[in-house]
Amino acid sequence: MIKQKKMLTPKEEFSDLEAQLAGTLKPIAPPVDFVKRLRLRIHMPDRHEITLRLTDWRRLFVVFGGVMSGMLLLVTLARTFYYLVGRKM
């Protein structure tokens, strides 16, 4: 049996396609916390800022000195503790 094809106007023809496009191309819900996560990323310092921080020698020197002093203090305390406990044993 020959199926007679119904003549459609271009508008009618496209209305099917447009309906299918509307059903396929829908706004999607991004992953949970997406906005928050990306906001954090955006507030991360960029390379330029990191370079500026590293070239701040005075701050770098204070941080380095602080870390070294802290380590020296820890070593001294550990040695004192070892000396006191070790002598008793």
Rank residues 16 and 56 by Cβ distance to other proteins and give the closer one. Answer: 16
- What amino acid is encoded at 19 in this protein? A
Instruction: Give one DSSP letter per residue of 48-77, joined into a string.
Output: HHHHHHHT-HHHHHHHHHHHHHHHHHHHHH
Rank residues 40 and 74 by Cβ distance to other proteins and give the closer one. Answer: 40
7 is a site residue for other proteins (CB under 8 A) = no
CB 89, CB 81: distance < 8 Å = no
5 is a site residue for other proteins (CB under 8 A) = no
User: Min. distance of Cβ 28 from other proteins in angstroms?
Assistant: 4
